[in-house]
Structure 1
Amino acid sequence: MNSKSDRFMYLKGRQIEAKYHPQIIESYQNNPFIEAIPPRLTQDQLYQLLYSMPRFTGDLSQLNDEERVELVQQIKPTYWQPLVSHFERYRNLYTMIKIGYQSRNPISPMYQRQLSIGLDHILSAGTNEDGENLAGNIQTAQQMADIGLSGMGKSKSYERVLSLIPQVIHHTKYKSDYLACKQVVWLHIECPSNKSVGALCRNFYFAVDKLLGTSYYDDLAEKDGRAEVLAKRMSKVAGQINLGVLVIDEIQRIHRGHSGGEEKMIDFITELTNSIGIPIVMIGTFKALYLFKSSLANTRRGIPDGYAENITDRMKDGLEWELFLQGLWDLQYTKTFTPLTPELKAAMYYHTLGIPDFAVKLFMHVQCHTILYGDTEKITMDVLEMVANKTFRLVQPIFERIRRGDEIDPAEYEDLKPDWIAFKKYIMDAQHRITIDGHLSEEHKLILIQHNRKVLIEQLCTFAMKMGATTEKATFFAEQIELENRNMQVDVELLYSLIAQKVLDSKKSEPEEDSKSSINQKKAIRTKSKTKDILRPDDMRSICSEANKQGISSDEAIKRAGLVAAFDEFI
């Protein structure tokens, strides 16, 4: 790779000739871009295609130490155990691509209308209150953010899933109509290290050029380097190549101090989705959460209805972890095979916290140490403990604090654990769909329970106020009823009837309170009348009252009293 390609990271897939497939969904029918996408894979088919491990069919006993160490080194780049989350990513991508193309049918009049207006003009105009762009088209594109722990394999899983979907489809003829165009189904690029919108656009141009043999980078990248201009040109190119989905990796590299920071980047991505209709997937570590806690939340009105987030934490010590570890454990190249005992399994989880990347590295290091320095070449608890303490000595202090459940300053290791207080509030306030996998899912369940309680209290409170209760009483009744029925399987209608009864009961005691209020009102009237009696003669209220008795207007009386200045007083 040359120096330019070293700076601009992208993923390249396969290209195919268009072959059209029948669609069961009516809105997908008679759309060449949708019909050209190969049929969806089943879960079993996906797992078979994703499953990968290093292959060796020879006799290990005939290999020397260095040769077996070389085999160990192949575990990390080759071993891949498909998980449920991988199929969910595939499903989300596949669905986003099809839904995004619904509003971009190349044989529809609207598509031709957009081309005649010009994609750059459409982008500049934005969308109106109804979500229509300048051509009157409402885009169907969606957005998704996949945020999670570093080392969980997010980027690799997207690379593997995208490789199963053709990247470029060449169209020549659809049914009896001539259709000569290229359809770029997906484009995967990395957010640049200098964290600017302009650099992201240049990365995009470079990836398109390498894919299609165009010259966008040379023609556009260095011509007027303002981020706003580059962003518009990028949007136009995305529309011209009929892009199905744009996957932006390493989104945490965006920083508020560069080119307007996260607000400009999120605004740009949102506009790209809303105006041109390009689905966007953003991938990043927990460090990227600040993007979505502030900028994205502040621009919520502009976010597509289909916006969703996947948040991935370290794996729980459960079925998926055991499946992953068992597949890994089978890749032993020592002279003596060591079964995976409950003690070894527990030790692997303890030292890696359920992070696949750490687990693979630890298993490789243990094997290398056993092969090079062990007499029997057997994996033991002592060897595993010794290697783990040496390999992970830099992260063990933070691991230990996580095991104890201590509070961790996100600035210390923000890729490993999010700022939980801010993260919790973000989830509580979010109006979009959030899916959480791993250890955070347990905490997420508690947040959902709290969120549901909050919503229920608000609904009960509103109901009570409509029945005439004051805000204070309505809130008190709602919180009391929610607390009394918190651990019971009670129908919501019963809760409404309970709060209605409380409101009615409280009104029965109101007549006595009303009589007291009436007495107070009479006292206030008497006090007010006394106040009238002691008004000063030059008080405007006295002047107007006397004018009424004399049958003259209030204006005339005020003038006579000298309270109205002559017209030329201030000239």
Structure 2
Amino acid sequence: MKLIKPNSSDGYKRIGAPEIDDNPLLAHLRLPPETDDDAFISLGLRPDFDPSDRNLPTSLRRLRVDKLRGFFVPTQTAHRNALIGISSQVFSGYMHRNPLTPQGQRKLIGRPADHSYRPTISFIAGHSGMGKSTLIDRILASIGHQVYQHVDFRGTPFPEQQILWLRRNVPEYCTVKTLCSSFGDYADNVLGQQLYKGIFSYTRISDRSYFINEIRKIITNHHVGLLVFDEFQNLSLMGVGAEKIIAFLVTLRDELGLPIVIIGTYGALGLLEKNMSTARRLAEGGFYDLERPTSADDDGWQQLCRVAWPYQWVREPQEFSSDICEALYSVSQGITGIMLSVYAAAQISAMQNGSEKVDADLISEVFRSQMKPLHSAIETLRVGSMLKGSRFEDVYRNFHPTADTPAGTDLNPASPLVDSHESRSARPQLPDAAEAKRKKRKNKNVSRPKLTLAEIESAVGASDVAKLTSIFKLPL
């Protein structure tokens, strides 16, 4: 918890804007970045590195390589825009909740105030491994400390605790009750007190209004500025139950008047698009797509690799080259987390085999021998680089031939999915009802043929929707 000292350099400041200078919830916070370059500097995270560490014993150098996990370079425009947009939304929310104004006082007691302010929902999307969670970590750290303890604001007693953000992962098969309970427990954890433990988990009440009112207590008592929901794609496992969670979030946004950030894969985006109001709010708050680079020639990819490459703890560091850049892309297909994992594993391998250098061949060999569980996923991205939506990713994964398929196996058998005309005519005729049951039972047990990679790629890339629908057996 950060104690704010009014006369210290990190205390309340004056910038010449009354809506900030006169607001105890804002006067101590860092302003949103002024420029794109400022955002880049605020977000960037590089590991501590000293070239002399290369002379350390191998046991220590292996530990140093693990520092690559603390590495983030905001090469995408979406990275910087997300920081500027989300931090600005936090400021806008607090401007309308100044507890020293009549408007802010009305908010504290749960009464509606200032209908001109429209809180927003923002969405950070991308493939797993693209750094979505790391990005929000950096954004939240850039805004300020998570918890502040106020004492006195410009001569006025203000003994309040302020929680800048609350962030939780959406669990699989969650309910409104379990989601709220996780926020209550988490609020206790960050405050170091037991104030809200059990108010959700120990009640048998299932009314949504009850949960809203209890969450309101946390938000207003501690001046929470932002709610963050990570792993939002887990709601796709809930079917119709997901709509209740989304409706609850919309209610939180409207009734509590604070911005919300949702983080997830592209599957989560499909859930939100079902609700027109949420989709519209999503566009207002910002949609930040952490797109995967489609080739090693991508400027952002090359910048990322150039920045990461000097962090070598092997004794014979190599110069960066186009072959290195291409090899890193080949084994990761632009997924940042995979690239860093292979890069770290290659360094450890070079230490163990005595070569003490990492080159393109070693990167490829380490991926081939040590990253076998990733081979299928990388091949899917390699062949289907035009795919982004989770629906197509799921289709591709389901129809992708497995590595265990023997060479020469016919992946597209010619045997029909239904009986031939001859077999139908040879079968004894059954009564209509019995025949219908037989067909239903047979169709339920039948398996569909697998397609070759070439056929899948051709189908997905085709503009003929009917052809794609027929091949993949998808509903129109």
Q: TM-score, normalised by structure 1?
A: 0.60
Moved more, 33-42 or 231-240: 33-42
1:276 corresponds, among 256, 274, 277, to 256
- Is the 1:192–1:203 Cα contact (8 Å) retained in structure 2? no
1:418-567 matches, cutoff 5 A: none
Distance 2:237 2:362 in 1: 46
Structure 2: gaps (5+ residues): 398-476
RMSD between superposed Cα atoms in Å: 3.1
Amino-acid identity (%): 23
SS in 2 for 1:248: strand
- Tell me the equivalent position of 1:314: 292
User: 1:182 offset after TM fit, Å?
Assistant: 2.2
Distance 1:166 1:348 in 2: 36
- Tell me the equivalent position of 1:21: 13
1:331 corresponds, among 311, 316, 323, to 311
Structure 1: gaps (5+ residues): 1-12, 123-132, 418-571
1:346–1:181 CA distance, 2 compared to 1 (3 A): same
- Tell me the equivalent position of 1:60: 54
Tell me the amino acid that sits aligned with residue 25 of structure 2.
F
1:34 corresponds, among 26, 29, 49, to 26
User: 1:300 offset after TM fit, Å?
Assistant: 5.3
- Tell me the equivalent position of 2:214: 233
- Is the 1:20–1:35 Cα contact (8 Å) retained in structure 2? yes
1:122-271 matches, cutoff 5 A: 122=111, 133=112, 137-164=115-142, 165-212=144-191, 213-226=193-206, 228=208, 229-255=210-236, 257=238, 261-271=241-251
Distance 1:177 1:35 in 2: 14
User: 1:231 offset after TM fit, Å?
Assistant: 3.5
SS in 1 for 2:292: coil
Runs of 4 or more, structure 1, over 6 Å off, are 406-409
Task: Please list the CA deviations of residues 409-435 of structure 1 after superposition, one character each: whole Å capped at 9, or x if unmatched.
Answer: 946855999xxxxxxxxxxxxxxxxxx
User: 1:151 offset after TM fit, Å?
Assistant: 0.5
Task: Please list the CA deviations of residues 69-102 of structure 1 after superposition, one character each: whole Å capped at 9, or x if unmatched.
Answer: 33323322x3333435443232122201111122
User: 1:357 offset after TM fit, Å?
Assistant: 0.5
Tell me the amino acid that sits aligned with residue 38 of structure 1.
R
Distance 1:397 1:350 in 2: 13
Distance 1:69 1:146 in 2: 33
Distance 1:283 1:378 in 2: 38
User: 1:136 offset after TM fit, Å?
Assistant: 6.3
1:97 corresponds, among 82, 86, 90, to 90
May I ask how many residue pairs the two structures share in their alignment? 384
The structure with the largest alpha-carbon Rg is 1
- Tell me the equivalent position of 1:126: none
- Is the 2:12–2:28 Cα contact (8 Å) retained in structure 1? yes
Distance 2:91 2:308 in 1: 36
Tell me the amino acid that sits aligned with residue 206 of structure 1.
D
1:38–1:380 CA distance, 2 compared to 1 (3 A): closer
- Tell me the equivalent position of 1:51: 45
Distance 1:305 1:332 in 2: 41
- Is the 2:126–2:266 Cα contact (8 Å) retained in structure 1? yes
Task: Please list the CA deviations of residues 198-220 of structure 1 after superposition, one character each: whole Å capped at 9, or x if unmatched.
Answer: 11111111111122224112344
Distance 1:57 1:383 in 2: 22
1:335–1:180 CA distance, 2 compared to 1 (3 A): closer
Distance 1:288 1:355 in 2: 19
SS in 2 for 1:74: helix
Distance 2:282 2:335 in 1: 32
1:293–1:31 CA distance, 2 compared to 1 (3 A): same
Q: TM-score, normalised by structure 2?
A: 0.71
User: 1:144 offset after TM fit, Å?
Assistant: 0.6
1:101–1:74 CA distance, 2 compared to 1 (3 A): closer
- Tell me the equivalent position of 1:71: 64
The answer as to 2:102 corresponding to 1:109 is yes
Tell me the amino acid that sits aligned with residue 193 of structure 1.
E
SS in 1 for 2:26: helix
